Structure 1
Amino acid sequence: MFYELISSMAILVRSKLICCALVITILSIIIATGQSLELLGMLRPLPSVLGVLSLGGMALLWRDISSKVKGENRTLSSLLSQYFAVKVVGWLGKRQRGKLEADTLNIRQVQEETLLKRLRKNADTCYGKQYDFSSIKDCEAFRTRHPVTTYEHYRELVTRVAAGEEKVLIAEKPLILAMTSGTSGASAMLLSTKDTNTEFFLQGVAVCLDAMRRVFPASDSLQRTTKLFYSPTFRQSEAGIPIGPNSSTPASSRHMLNLYTTPAPAFQVPSERDTLYLHLLFALKDPSVGTLESNFASTVFYAFSALQERWQELVEDIKLGRVSPALALEPGVRASLEGQMKPDPERATQLLTHFQQGFVGIARRLWPQLNLVLAVDSGSNQIYGEMLRERYCQGIPFYSPFYAATEGLIGVNLWPEEERRRYLLCPRSMFCEFLPEASLDQETPEKHTLLMEEVQEGHSYELVVTNASGLFRYRMGDVVKVVGFHNQCPVVEFQYRRGQMLSVRGEKVSEVMFLGALKRAISQWPGAQLVDYCCAESAIMGESCGGSDPHYQVFLELKGVRNLTEEQRYKLDQCVQEDSAVYKSFRFKGSIGPMRVQMVAEGAFKELRKQMMAFSNTSANTFKMHRVLRRKEYADFLLGKTI
């Protein structure tokens, strides 16, 4: 998430060091070839002075580097790359944080500047000419002229871009055609541009690194990171534009892979299961890991689940200095990986002791110098973050840095120390409008949108964005709650995706509401621990739904209990009634039938995840579990796993 985006900065720093060396070399040449005794006399003291300064500077530099190094087997080049990249981005982070603070003092002007910048850049496109972007001078003119849109508005235009037509939506050729994760419907294909990536780095990565170091100063040390990510499969459009997920990948991180525990050859392995094994193997070899990082907390949770299943095999590999023969690896890849292994019975004995003590708090025992888990744990990833903190990662701080989507950067978390995940909207990333929750189903939503300075604390809104990559007044489907302001800028909490709302009679039970009710119900089931869950509306299930009245089908994977009584199952229905007066009213009238709560076998959701990724071509880096199933085959799959 972070280091691949600062790789270019590291390269820049190294080039500047080369320039400095070149200057010194030129001075030396001048000294060596001085044409007059006078010039030579003037320059003769310089080598001594430069030598003393260089040696002194190098000594100070090395002392600073040495004080930050933790762990062994680091090459000088990797240490220098990390050190200078961190220094440069640290400086950049302070600078960008200052800009952000200034922007939050004048939100209306900054938002209008952001909008007009987008319109001017794309005024000469087919789309820009259609809406006469060149004549728009302010926000109100834009909002009057341009409708609120959904993906259907862009589908045919994106198809033209994919076929190679230029200047359709945006002035430049997109870097990739980015596929959304499809959690609330079919995956959409959006454009991703250089501007999108630049904004994400400057307004997101740099600012969040600054916030992280202020709160977690130990994260500034020169330790390796275990980055859990995978090489996605890209395909090509007719015009040769890559189609795939718009997220950090091993390929985009190639300049910085030496800062991660996983060696580069591991990312040539096509199997996610085998790549995860290699992530774990090389992380376990290094007791000085400083950060566990992934896009989402779910990926970290799945990694610890795999560790719990395969720890004996991993310990044996470390003891013998090999890579498990059970992994299906190309001979060249296996040879490269095994070349980085050597027998380490001492570390294997340490690991064996840690695992035999159980998996509660295992992360801290495996990596005593672990500073941070860096992953988004809000929204649909909330339950995974909670399970990690309660079990595997007890005592380890978590930082959920961004609120972002395929559409681009939305907000940054400036309060890493808080458990509550709230995000300051980034006023120069997108032009934002807000559709009040009460107006979500209005036929003319453009009449109801508000601007940043018009929203109210405590109210919920759907985000409507104009971004850097060809979306204009676009309904994202994300509903957020304004929980405060930082100067004039709204601070929000993610609430739910519109497509992930339960509604069989118009009652509209959101993801956040249902999860709150579910957690209260589980707290009243002795010994029960939630592993995963999802729901389906009875209408999609046909004859398999088991009841005539419309109702919710709820699938739960639990630990600590083998079964639930009918009374316990009904407790969930009661908890939802307590939170939703409309649902309670329909239940009282009999218009909605009682929930059918089904327990599924261990591992059912892991298998469902594989099916969902295969169907939607979603990468493991971007997958988010669907909390409301919209496809009958997914619901039928879980019905087949009930116990």
Structure 2
Amino acid sequence: MIYELISSMTILGRSKCIRCALVITILSIIIATGQSLELLGMMRPLPSVLGVLSLGGMALLWRDLSSKVKGENRTLSSLLSQYFAVKVVGWLGKRQRGKLEADTLNIRQVQEETLLKRLRKNADTCYGKQYDFSSIKDCEAFRTRHPVTTYEHYRELVTRVAAGEEKVLIAEKPLILAMTSGTSGASAMLLSTKDTNTEFFLQGVAVCLDAMRRAFPASDSLQRTTKLFYSPTFRQSEAGIPIGPNSSTPASSRHMLNLYTTPAPAFQVPSERDTLYLHLLFALKDPSVGTLESNFASTVFYAFSALQERWQELVEDIKLGRVSPALTLEPGVRASLEGQMKPDPERATQLRTHFQQGFVGIVRRLWPQLNLVLAVDSGSNQIYGEMLRERYCQGIPFYSPFYAATEGLIGVNLWPEEERRRYLLCPRSMFCEFLPEASLDQETPEKHTLLMEEVQEGHSYELVVTNASGLFRYRMGDIVKVVGFHNQCPVVEFQYRRGQMLSVRGEKVSEVMFLGALKRAISQWPGAQLVDYCCAESAIMGESCGGSDPHYQVFVELKGVRNLTEEQRYKLDQCVQEDSAVYKSFRFKGSIGPMRVQMVAEGAFKELRKQMMAFSNTSPNTFKMHRVLRRKEYADFLLGKTI
């Protein structure tokens, strides 16, 4: 039907329609990503896009357009909007990738330019005057004058910004007061600015989309994406500044929704459970989905867990052309969503057959044209990525595009096809310093920081950043390992968060070390498959810890086994001893007792996740499971779920 409409249009009509769609698309990209209209200046030299607007290029346009269309009927405006969005962002990605490559050839100069730009912009603030930013001419003077900081250094200053005081830390008013996820402690409130968003879009999103298209050319087709996103809840500061997670809703631009299977009204639904149902419902309706996207692999994993529980209800809705009456929806939202549903018994029959065949490899059967899963699956999300690839998403490529945090963009993955998740640091996003792992606990860490060109391959460091939103020489708590260089720029792997370190006697067992030992132990438990895990140090548990000697309490949720023998449980202790000589020494001396391995009931971690999000007001989009529990009530909750 869409091709008949195109062939019946006059050349003049086509030309006007395309020009209008292009303008709308460019504006919608800028608005949706929170960019300023200054970006329009970057769009002037668009020869690869604007060239198709001439009458002589029309035939090529329609040939290109028709070759990319897949799946269910789409409106002409929807296709054109997505087509030009792909073209514009593709051009922008190549441009930004070229800039990044050039920057990696002269890291010292680029980093100093980035730092001085930050200092000049904020020189007239209270903070800038305190440290005399206007007189700083190079990075050495900055490092001499300004101390290495933690969040306590900024707490009172951020409170003043929230109350409405201007020019405290940064020159402009922040867009939002962004709450961190609180994985390794209490949530912190940070400033988020237009510059932070611009950097993330240009240096992160655009570059990673370019890398994705190079690695997965099929992703350039006009297929829709299923984006698993939950609209965050914001509150207001005294000065009316929004407080909440640093994430924007896809529905902020109706034109960008042409890219997604989920209709705009679904993003207004406050319940995570109901929103997830709607994401699944509209994704299942479309057999031509091209990408599954979410911030983290954990969100994708929880989505398929829900699909396994509710597939019969979803199939019935598709068969009848309705939205389940069990969902709590406002009448207007329900009416709008049901207006996009039509009975489709044929698709329902297909889906029922796929589900009845089991859930191993289900993704490829549901969406045979799926190109990839786009989600971060490194760090604490590693186990969810592994479970997805082993079970639901067999044979589907995964791309973990960013290394980012509430503080801003840190690195990009230029190697999508590699199993190893490594990230090139973005030299114009943050001014980076590096604390060697061996000096982390020293009293004067600022004496030990290194610059990008001074780090060594194979060594691990804590990141110290100066960003675009009021953090200066800020210890992030992230430990990264330098695994190589791209030209002069370090390439890193995330290792662990300092606050997620196990240490009852100063032995310091990191998340990456413990997970390696756990996976090795589980491989020796016949039939066992890891679903989730976390640990607690005995000191936080009081009388419920089950022993007087300091030790680790380990909580594991497993599939394939009903119980563990004492010998199997002790195997984990042995594996940790093999990986940590210090832990082994303390165990030999008896100053650390044997770890207690507790197997918890199915769904225990899903319930724990809800409790953690309720306590911290963390959005499902930004939640990361705590691998080391620092609150007694969380450990007691899991103790109550032990088998």
- 1:36 Cα offset (Å): 45
How far apart are the structure 2 equivalents of 1:309 and 1:35? 40
Query: 2:178 is paired with a residue of what secondary structure?
Result: strand
Instruction: Say if 1:146 and 1:21 are closer, same or farther in 2 by CA, change over 3 A.
Output: closer
- 1:102 Cα offset (Å): 0.7
Instruction: Say if 1:9 and 1:46 are closer, same or farther in 2 by CA, change over 3 A.
Output: closer
The answer (yes or no) to whether the contact 1:534–1:626 under 8 Å persists in 2 is yes
How far apart are the structure 2 equivalents of 1:254 and 1:246? 20
Cα offsets for 1:257-312 (capped at 9, x unmatched): 23211111112211100110111011000000000000000000000000001111
Aligned partner of 1:282 in structure 2 is 282
The answer (yes or no) to whether the contact 1:399–1:417 under 8 Å persists in 2 is yes
Instruction: Say if 1:354 and 1:35 are closer, same or farther in 2 by CA, change over 3 A.
Output: closer
How many residues matched?
643
The answer (yes or no) to whether the contact 2:49–2:87 under 8 Å persists in 1 is no
- 1:59 Cα offset (Å): 2.6
- 1:56 Cα offset (Å): 3.9
How far apart are the structure 2 equivalents of 1:306 and 1:257? 24
Cα offsets for 1:487-522 (capped at 9, x unmatched): 100000000000000000000000000000000000
How far apart are the structure 1 equivalents of 2:587 and 2:459? 27
- 1:73 Cα offset (Å): 2.6
Instruction: Say if 1:57 and 1:592 are closer, same or farther in 2 by CA, change over 3 A.
Output: same
Cα offsets for 1:520-567 (capped at 9, x unmatched): 000000000000000000000000000000000000000000000000
Q: Which runs of 4+ in 1 moved over 6 A?
A: 1-53
- 1:255 Cα offset (Å): 3.5
Instruction: Say if 1:7 and 1:228 are closer, same or farther in 2 by CA, change over 3 A.
Output: farther
- 1:51 Cα offset (Å): 16
The answer (yes or no) to whether the contact 2:49–2:88 under 8 Å persists in 1 is no
Give the TM-score, by structure 1 length. 0.92
The answer (yes or no) to whether the contact 2:147–2:473 under 8 Å persists in 1 is yes
Instruction: Say if 1:545 and 1:160 are closer, same or farther in 2 by CA, change over 3 A.
Output: same
Instruction: Say if 1:248 and 1:14 are closer, same or farther in 2 by CA, change over 3 A.
Output: farther
Equivalence map 1:124-523=2 (5 Å): 124-523=124-523
The answer (yes or no) to whether the contact 2:32–2:250 under 8 Å persists in 1 is no
Instruction: Say if 1:140 and 1:361 are closer, same or farther in 2 by CA, change over 3 A.
Output: same
- 1:78 Cα offset (Å): 1.4
Moved more, 331-340 or 507-516: 331-340
The answer (yes or no) to whether the contact 1:6–1:85 under 8 Å persists in 2 is no
How far apart are the structure 1 equivalents of 2:33 and 2:585? 94
The answer (yes or no) to whether the contact 2:234–2:244 under 8 Å persists in 1 is yes
How far apart are the structure 2 equivalents of 1:4 and 1:484? 54
Instruction: Say if 1:325 and 1:473 are closer, same or farther in 2 by CA, change over 3 A.
Output: same
Instruction: Say if 1:321 and 1:112 are closer, same or farther in 2 by CA, change over 3 A.
Output: same
* Percent identity of equivalent pairs: 98
How far apart are the structure 2 equivalents of 1:90 and 1:448? 41
Instruction: Say if 1:332 and 1:426 are closer, same or farther in 2 by CA, change over 3 A.
Output: same
Instruction: Say if 1:55 and 1:572 are closer, same or farther in 2 by CA, change over 3 A.
Output: same
The answer (yes or no) to whether the contact 1:372–1:397 under 8 Å persists in 2 is yes
The answer (yes or no) to whether the contact 2:412–2:425 under 8 Å persists in 1 is yes
How far apart are the structure 2 equivalents of 1:503 and 1:135? 43
How far apart are the structure 2 equivalents of 1:390 and 1:34? 37
How far apart are the structure 2 equivalents of 1:17 and 1:314? 37
Cα offsets for 1:343-382 (capped at 9, x unmatched): 1111011011111111010000000000010000000000
Moved more, 136-145 or 77-86: 77-86
Instruction: Say if 1:585 and 1:80 are closer, same or farther in 2 by CA, change over 3 A.
Output: same
Moved more, 28-37 or 392-401: 28-37
The answer (yes or no) to whether the contact 2:81–2:258 under 8 Å persists in 1 is no
Instruction: Say if 1:479 and 1:48 are closer, same or farther in 2 by CA, change over 3 A.
Output: closer
Moved more, 336-345 or 162-171: 336-345
Aligned partner of 2:633 in structure 1 is 633
- 1:341 Cα offset (Å): 0.9
Query: 2:536 is paired with a residue of what secondary structure?
Result: strand
Moved more, 47-56 or 420-429: 47-56
The answer (yes or no) to whether the contact 1:223–1:288 under 8 Å persists in 2 is yes
How far apart are the structure 1 equivalents of 2:29 and 2:274? 55
The answer (yes or no) to whether the contact 1:5–1:201 under 8 Å persists in 2 is no
Instruction: Say if 1:576 and 1:56 are closer, same or farther in 2 by CA, change over 3 A.
Output: same
- 1:3 Cα offset (Å): 25
Q: List gaps (5 residues or longer) in structure 2.
A: none
Query: 2:54 is paired with a residue of what secondary structure?
Result: helix
Aligned partner of 1:84 in structure 2 is 84
Query: 1:343 is paired with a residue of what secondary structure?
Result: coil
Cα offsets for 1:582-621 (capped at 9, x unmatched): 0000000000000000010100000000000000000011
The answer (yes or no) to whether the contact 1:115–1:466 under 8 Å persists in 2 is yes
The answer (yes or no) to whether the contact 1:161–1:168 under 8 Å persists in 2 is yes
How far apart are the structure 2 equivalents of 1:344 and 1:174? 47
Q: CA RMSD in A?
A: 7.9
Query: 1:251 is paired with a residue of what secondary structure?
Result: helix
Instruction: Say if 1:528 and 1:12 are closer, same or farther in 2 by CA, change over 3 A.
Output: farther
Cα offsets for 1:440-462 (capped at 9, x unmatched): 00100000000000000000000
Instruction: Say if 1:69 and 1:25 are closer, same or farther in 2 by CA, change over 3 A.
Output: closer
Cα offsets for 1:161-204 (capped at 9, x unmatched): 00000000000000000000000000000000000000001111
The answer (yes or no) to whether the contact 1:13–1:84 under 8 Å persists in 2 is no
Moved more, 245-254 or 607-616: 245-254
How far apart are the structure 2 equivalents of 1:592 and 1:423? 37
Moved more, 72-81 or 606-615: 72-81
How far apart are the structure 1 equivalents of 2:566 and 2:52? 81
How far apart are the structure 2 equivalents of 1:192 and 1:512? 30
Query: 2:287 is paired with a residue of what secondary structure?
Result: coil
Instruction: Say if 1:126 and 1:245 are closer, same or farther in 2 by CA, change over 3 A.
Output: same
How far apart are the structure 1 equivalents of 2:56 and 2:161? 56
How far apart are the structure 2 equivalents of 1:569 and 1:192? 45
How far apart are the structure 1 equivalents of 2:34 and 2:568? 92
Instruction: Say if 1:157 and 1:16 are closer, same or farther in 2 by CA, change over 3 A.
Output: farther
Moved more, 266-275 or 521-530: 266-275
Query: Looking at CA atoms only, which structure, 1 or 2, has the larger radius of gyration?
Result: 1
Instruction: Say if 1:438 and 1:280 are closer, same or farther in 2 by CA, change over 3 A.
Output: same
- 1:317 Cα offset (Å): 0.9
How far apart are the structure 2 equivalents of 1:629 and 1:42? 47
How far apart are the structure 1 equivalents of 2:296 and 2:439? 31
Give the TM-score, by structure 2 length. 0.92
Cα offsets for 1:68-90 (capped at 9, x unmatched): 01112311111111111111111
How far apart are the structure 2 equivalents of 1:421 and 1:564? 32
Aligned partner of 1:71 in structure 2 is 71
How far apart are the structure 1 equivalents of 2:503 and 2:33? 84
How far apart are the structure 2 equivalents of 1:26 and 1:347? 35
Cα offsets for 1:379-398 (capped at 9, x unmatched): 00000000000000000000
The answer (yes or no) to whether the contact 2:250–2:256 under 8 Å persists in 1 is no
How far apart are the structure 1 equivalents of 2:382 and 2:35? 72
Cα offsets for 1:393-452 (capped at 9, x unmatched): 000000000000000000000000000000000000000000000000010000000000
- 1:25 Cα offset (Å): 21
